[in-house]
Structures are given as structure tokens and as C-alpha cells.
Amino acid sequence: MIEKPGRENGTLLLTLIAGFSINGSSAALFSSVVPSFSVFPIIALLLAVYCSHQRYLNHVMLDGTPKLAAAYFLLGLLLYSVTMRVEHPQIGSNFLPSIPCVAQVFWIGFKLKACKALNENAQE
């Protein structure tokens, strides 16, 4: 059953969670900085990918959503790196990973505003 296109907040949130948890899963499996193994990032990754796939099958995507989803995924990857550097300062400064995060957030905001204006014009 295909639903009427609406806001894509759920899809974007799921891709952010997938990006965050894929970096967390790799850190849990391969990094010596993470003190102990946890299955929760892997479970979160599997659930986020499954739910994203179900949304893809059952919802019509608006124009520009795939680019925004990729941007949110990249933001999730970068945010995990920043979070790890805040928790473990011996890794190094979080200044350099923070710069692309801020740039990514501004780019996402610009694209969301452009997509909203485009979709409002299309509905008229």
C-alpha cells in the first residue's frame, strides 16, 4: 500500500541513526578505545536499515530526499567520531571532526528549506 507523500522526517532520522550506529558497530568490533564489546550498536544498525527499507517500499519519496538521506547518514558517521573524541580525549581533539559536522548541518538546513519551497510550489 503506497501512502500519500508527506514529511520525510522518519526516513531522515533513520538514516542518521544508521550512520551513527554503523560507526559505533565498527568501533565496538575493531577499536581498542571502546572499553567493552556491546551488541546494541549492531542491533540499532539492523533495525534502522530494516525500517528504512520498509519506508522505502511503502512510502513515496519526495524530490531531494535521497540526497538529504545521504547527508544525514554522513552526519551520523561524523557525529559518532566527534562523540568518541569527547568521551576519550586521548584520541585527540574533536575540533577537526566538528568543522565538517557544522558545515553538514548548514548544508542540510539549506537543502531542507529548498525542498520545502519546491514541494509547496508543486502542490499549488
Note the pTM of the prediction, 2 decimals: 0.82
Judged by DSSP in three states, 111 sits in helix
Residue 3 pLDDT more than 60? no
d(CA 1, CA 102) in angstroms, rounded, equals 38
Q: Which residue, chain included where needed, has cell 501512502?
A: 3
User: In this structure, what DSSP letter does residue 90 have?
Assistant: G
17-32 pLDDT, tens per residue?
999 999 888 888 887 7
Selected residue with higher pLDDT from 49 and 62: 49
**Percent of the chain topping pLDDT 90:** 32
SS3 content of the chain, % helix, strand, coil (to 5): 75, 0, 20
